[in-house]
Structure 1
């Protein structure tokens, strides 16, 4: 399994708080059409499709049965990963490396605005004996983790608030983002408390949207695209689902997924070999926790780097130049898709006002959200 794999097409609807004018099928169709046009392929040329969906989020049993029509995948090989987009991407990479197919498409979707009772759905992922009967809002889990992370690393709430300020500002110049705004540090710190020390503005809002990417083996990619983005490494890990036995201060899943991706990519010094990152920040502290888990800085250093401006678009290690989940929105199982999309745009030089200079390698990292400890990492180069 030594074949090189490249992303040759990307398509998205963009991301906004609500899409009353579009069904979830229409969102997928729009993203797929744009991705196929970008790749210069017809659906009939694609050998296999991977859909990303979770029945609880979609509101339909066996939701993937609704994927073939809008993807152009009728009577083709298609299956669903009920996880994150980067996990689906990993499945597509393995399909291509195995030699089964030359071209594979991967789809991710969020229609979060259809979900009236998201916290109750999250409760179904909790242990039915020990945790669910507590009947607490699921954000208390994030509050507990944030509290432990700040305590063990010496990170301040100000550093977490600066993540919010930075990412919301970045989103203002990203036309695909739906939650950009200009905030002050004090305004974020003074926002209503949800579960100490987690406040309302530490939590990313939800967005609707879809992403489709087209990947191909090297020979096919070079024949179809003059700007292939190479998948150098990919990794994914699930830690324990139990609240009682996990590490509350460290994102062990992110560290192990990154190590898997680094090994595949041949990366030995992440800080010097990776130019920028798009990482999961559903909660402000998660950006800092993930930066440290990815070995891009030492434990307790991420907050200091953020306060010093090192993670700004103009900094030495740009983090979430797209605006991240805090600025783009939390898009459920499609979160990793947004990360991949924006890494590809940066490496192509197509990120508009948020374009970074002289970048050749980017990292995308996703976390599946509460109450999981599941993460995935992909490393891409131009």
Structure 2
């Protein structure tokens, strides 16, 4: 996907073989499983409806948002799950009136500083069934033209402005909903999801639901 995004730092055409033959960082993660550290910034203007309607660009509406944090200590958490993300997603869905996220989310930008995270977060947010993310990835479900396009921008693996990562992902979804994402535009993107995290081992997570309509 990054090949279609002129803002991506790493616009590389790589294969599974390339990843497996890249330097081992920490088993099983190779260098190409890990995001680069990038210089970058992003800005979002949040305004009241009465103000937003005066802008030339059509506003994108925040329909749902939630932030949840788990225990700081690794020993108190099951690191094979992300309880904080599951709870944050449920609350954001409820606020946005989303009953079936598998069918109602058109595009998603997730925190993927490491390759395994996209699959894990998809399952934890109920966007796919448990243990199915890998199989659906291989089928192409998360491609730009797939059932649920994920990280159409190339995600953080193509450029990771560390502190600004969440806003960078949000800006990508805003562009999708406005229809001005250029080469990585998802067709008929109306409702988008943005997920970000902070803390050791995914301690805390934030989920936004953005929509074309109020």
- Do both proteins adopt the same fold according to a TM-score greater than 0.5, normalized to the shorter chain? yes
Retained in 2: the 8 A contact 1:276–1:361?
A: yes
Given that 1:333 and 1:368 are in contact with CA atoms closer than 8 Å, whether structure 2 keeps it comes out as no
Q: What corresponds to 1:342 in structure 2?
A: 172
**CA displacement, residues 290-325 of structure 1 (integer Å, 9 cap, x when unaligned):** 000110001111111111111111111100000000
After TM superposition, what 4+ stretches of structure 1 lie above 4 angstroms from structure 2?
A: none
**Does residue 362 in structure 1 map to residue 192 in structure 2?**
yes
Task: Please show how residues 145-294 of structure 1 align to structure 2 within 5 Å.
Answer: 170-294=1-125
Q: Which moved more, 1:202-211 or 1:370-379?
A: 370-379
Once structures 1 and 2 are overlaid, which stretch shifts more, 192-201 or 357-366?
192-201
Instruction: Compute the displacement of 1:344 (Å).
Output: 0.3
**Aligned-partner SS, 2:195:** strand
What root-mean-square deviation, in Å, do the aligned CA atoms of Structure 1 and Structure 2 show? Answer: 1.3
Deviation at 1:358, TM superposition (A): 0.9
Task: Report the structure number with the largest CA radius of gyration.
Answer: 1
More helix, by proportion: 1
Q: Number of paired residues?
A: 212
The separation in 1 between residues aligned to 2:162 and 2:198, in whole angstroms, is: 7
In 1, Cα distance between the equivalents of 2:164 and 2:186?
24
The gaps in structure 1 that reach 5 residues or longer are 1-169
Is the contact made by 1:241 and 1:371 (CA closer than 8 Å) also made in structure 2?
no
Shift of 1:371: 4.2
Distance 1:209 1:374 in 2: 23
Distance 1:192 1:367 in 2: 26
What SS does the corresponding residue of 1:254 show, helix, strand or coil? Answer: helix
Task: Structure 2: state its 5+ residue gaps.
Answer: none
Rounded to whole Å, the distance in 2 between the matches of 1:372 and 1:252 is 10
TM-score, length basis structure 1: 0.54
Q: What is the CA distance between 1:223 and its match in structure 2?
A: 2.6
SS across alignment from 2:95: helix
State the structure with bigger RCO (CA 8 A, min sep 6), 1 or 2.
Answer: 2
